[in-house]
Copies of this chain bind each other. A is one copy, B any other.
Amino acid sequence: MTYLINDASDFSAEAVRGLVAAHPEHVSAVHGGVVRATETPKGQPALVIGGGSGHYPAFAGWVGPGMGHGAPCGNIFASPSASQVYSVARNAENGGGVILGFGNYAGDVLHFGAAAEKLRAEGVDVRIVKVSDDVASNSEENHRDRRGIAGDLPVFKIAGAAIEAGADVAEAERVAYKANDATRSFGLAFDGCTLPGAEEPLFHVAENTMGVGLGIHGEPGVKDLPMGSASEVADLLVDGVLEEDPGIGSGRVAIILNGLGTVKYEELFVVYGRVAERLEAAGLTPVRPEVGEFVTSLDMAGLSLTVVHLDEELEQHWTAPVDTPAYRRGAVDGARSPRTTFFAPGEEEVPAAQEDAQRQAGRVQSVVELFARICAEQEEELGRIDAIAGDGDHGQGMVLGTRGAVEAGAVALERGAGARTVLVHAGTAWAESAGGTSGALWGAALTAAGRALSDERASDDAAKGQALLDAVDAVRRLGGAEVGDKTMIDAAVPFSGELRKGLDAGTPLAEAITAAAQVAQQAARDTADMTARLGRSRVLGDKSLGTPDPGAVSFSLLMQALGEHLAET
C-alpha cells in the first residue's frame, strides 16, 4: 500500500522535490531529475544513473562525491524520457564525457539511447553502461542481456569511485562493465507492491508462496515454491548467485542483501547469518557487505542477494569513500564548493547559421510539417492496424510526435537555427511528445539525421543522403530489433540498402529516395505475411497474422512523401 500521496500523477516529481529539500548539500534539482550540488573538476567524466522512481535509494539517493553526478528520475517504474536524461546529462557533463548507467529494461534502453544520440550530436563522448545482474532473467551466455536489479549499487559505486580516482570516460566504462560482468544477483518475492493511487497491488504472489526470480516490477520469475524458512531462503539465494563463476578468482566478494520494501532489517540479518556461513563454506570472504534497502520496489515484499567477485581494482573502488544522500562511507577527499549555475532546457544556445543554411533549415522544417500532415491523415488507419496486435495508439503517437516536432522546429527556425539544430530540436520534441517506443525511435532518427547536417552552411545532397542512412542506423541501434521481427526495421533496412545503392550509383537524391521508399513499401506490405512465414513474429507473437506492422507502414509512407517532396522542390 502507498499511503502518502497528494496527487498520484505528480507523485514522482514531488518526491524529487522533497529529496532536494532534504539534501541540498548533495543534490540540486534540474529539469528531469537531480545533479550534484557541488562543483566537479573540469574534465571529469559524469556518471549519470537513472531509471524509474519507486526504487529509492536507487537512483537519486546515490548522487554525490564518489558515486553519481546526476540522476534523471522517471515516473514510478517508468524510464525517464530521453529529454529528462538529456537535461540531467547536460547539467552533469563537465568536459569529460558522460557515462549513462541504468538497469537493462527496454524503456530505459530506448530513452537513454535516444539521449545519447542527442548528446553525441552535440559532440559529447557518451558511453552506455547497462546493469544486467539478475541471473533469473536470462542465461549465463547472455549475461549482458539480463535485467538489472540490486547490482546497480555495486556497479555504479565502483564506476563512481573509478571516476573519483581519475578514470577518463573510456576507462570508467571499462571498469563499470568489468564490475557488471563480475556481478550476479538472485531474488525472491512474497507479495507485490501497490502503485501510488492504485487500489490493488500491481501483482500478487500466492499466500505462503515464494516467487523465485520474480522481477522487481513483477516480471516473470523462474518458479513458485512453498514458503521456506529464513535459512532455506538464504540457501536458495546463495545457490542462485554462486552457480556461475565469472572467472575473477580472488575469493573476495562484495555482498548486498537487499530488501525490496517490507522485508525488514532483522529478517534480513537472520538470512544474512546463514548467507555468511555459506560464503565461508564456499571459500569466499565478504568485503564490506551491505544488508538493508538499496534498490527497493515501493512496498514489495521480497529480497535479493548480490555477489560481486572482486579483484584488487574492483575492491579498491568498492571500498572507496562515498558521500550521497542514501549511501555514505568514509570521507571523500577535498572540499567541494557549492555549484551555482545550471542548464535548463530551452536555454541552449542556437549556433549561428549562414543565410543559405537558414534557408535549408526552412526546407527541413517544411519536411517535418509534411510528415505531420501525413500522420494526421493516416492516424485512423495506423491505429486500426496497430490495434490488431498492439494497443492501437501508433496513429495517435505519430500525430503527437510530429506535432511536437513541428512546434520545436518552428521555434528553432525563428531563433535563426541551421538545419542541424532544427532537426535535433524537432527530434527531441518528437520523442517527448509522442512517448512510447516509436516516439523514442523517431526522435533518435531525426537527431541522428540532424547530426549529419551542418548548422553553419547548407549541406549538399551527399550529406542529406548520409543523414537518412544515419537515421535508419540510429533506429536500428536503439530499437535492438532485427529484420524479421515485424517492426519498423523491416521497412527501414531495405530502404537504407536501396538508398545506399542508388547514391553509390550516382542517382539524384530525390529519385534514389523514391526508389528506396518503394522497396520499403513492399517490405512493409510483406510484414503482413511475416507471421505466417515465421510461424509467429518474434516480437509480437502470432496475434498479428495477416496484418502489416504499423511502424513499417508509417515509415514507408513518410519516406515516399519525402521523395516526392524533394522531387517537386
Q: Min CB distance, A235 to chain B, in Å?
A: 12
Q: Min CB distance, A76 to chain B, in Å?
A: 8
Copies of this protein in the assembly total 2
List of B residues within 8 angstroms of A123 by Cβ: none
Q: Give residues of chain A (282-329) contacting chain B, Cβ–Cβ below 8 Å.
A: 286, 288-293, 296, 298-299, 301, 303, 321, 323, 326, 328-329
Q: Min CB distance, A266 to chain B, in Å?
A: 4
Interface string of A7-49 (1 = CB under 8 A from B): 0000110111111011101000000000000000000000000
Compute how far the CA of A227 lies from the CA of B6 in the bound complex, rounded to whole angstroms: 12
Of the residues B61, B292, B321, contact of A326 by C-beta under 8 Å: B292
Cβ-defined contact, B56 with A1, below 8 A? no
Cβ-defined contact, B17 with A273, below 8 A? yes
Cβ-defined contact, B299 with A262, below 8 A? yes
Q: Min CB distance, A430 to chain B, in Å?
A: 30
List of B residues within 8 angstroms of A273 by Cβ: 14-15, 17-18, 21
Compute how far the CA of A291 lies from the CA of B326 in the bound complex, rounded to whole angstroms: 9
Interface string of A44-86 (1 = CB under 8 A from B): 0000000001101100010000000000000010000000000
Interface residue A352 (Cβ < 8 Å from any Cβ of B): no
Interface residue A200 (Cβ < 8 Å from any Cβ of B): no
Cβ-defined contact, B6 with A270, below 8 A? yes
List of B residues within 8 angstroms of A23 by Cβ: 289
Interface residue A370 (Cβ < 8 Å from any Cβ of B): no
List of B residues within 8 angstroms of A229 by Cβ: 4-6
Interface string of A209-235 (1 = CB under 8 A from B): 000000000000000000101110100
Cβ-defined contact, B6 with A272, below 8 A? no
Compute how far the CA of A296 lies from the CA of B303 in the bound complex, rounded to whole angstroms: 18
Of the residues B4, B267, B289, B331, contact of A263 by C-beta under 8 Å: B4
Interface residue A203 (Cβ < 8 Å from any Cβ of B): no
Cβ-defined contact, A270 with B22, below 8 A? no
Q: Give residues of chain A (486-509) contacting chain B, Cβ–Cβ below 8 Å.
A: none
Cβ-defined contact, A230 with B265, below 8 A? no
Q: Min CB distance, A196 to chain B, in Å?
A: 8
Also in contact, A270 and B18, with CB within 8 A (given A262-B299, A264-B298, A329-B328): yes
List of B residues within 8 angstroms of A231 by Cβ: 6
Also in contact, A19 and B269, with CB within 8 A (given A56-B264, A263-B3, A331-B331): yes
Cβ-defined contact, A269 with B22, below 8 A? yes
Interface residue A397 (Cβ < 8 Å from any Cβ of B): no
- Interface centre among A190, A271, A303, by most chain B C-beta atoms within 10 angstroms, is A271
Compute how far the CA of A326 lies from the CA of B268 in the bound complex, rounded to whole angstroms: 13
Cβ-defined contact, B269 with A15, below 8 A? yes
Cβ-defined contact, B5 with A291, below 8 A? no
Cβ-defined contact, B261 with A262, below 8 A? yes
Q: Min CB distance, A297 to chain B, in Å?
A: 9
List of B residues within 8 angstroms of A330 by Cβ: 323, 331
Interface residue A276 (Cβ < 8 Å from any Cβ of B): yes
Compute how far the CA of A19 lies from the CA of B190 in the bound complex, rounded to whole angstroms: 23
List of B residues within 8 angstroms of A16 by Cβ: 269
Compute how far the CA of A25 lies from the CA of B467 in the bound complex, rounded to whole angstroms: 58
* A272 nearest CB neighbor, chain B only: B18
Q: Min CB distance, A160 to chain B, in Å?
A: 16
Interface residue A2 (Cβ < 8 Å from any Cβ of B): yes
Also in contact, A1 and B321, with CB within 8 A (given A22-B276, A272-B18, A326-B292): no
The 10 closest A-B pairs by CB, nearest first: A331-B331, A18-B269, A18-B273, A56-B265, A21-B276, A4-B267, A18-B272, A15-B266, A4-B230, A15-B269
29 A-B Cβ contacts within 8 A? A1-B190, A3-B190, A3-B263, A3-B267, A3-B301, A4-B229, A6-B229, A6-B231, A6-B270, A14-B269, A15-B266, A15-B270, A18-B269, A18-B276, A19-B272, A21-B273, A21-B276, A22-B269, A22-B272, A22-B286, A56-B264, A57-B265, A196-B267, A261-B262, A262-B262, A264-B299, A266-B298, A321-B331, A328-B329
User: What 10 new A-B contacts, CB under 8 Å, besides A1-B301, A6-B230, A18-B272?
Assistant: A5-B230, A6-B231, A6-B270, A14-B269, A15-B267, A18-B276, A19-B291, A22-B269, A22-B286, A56-B269
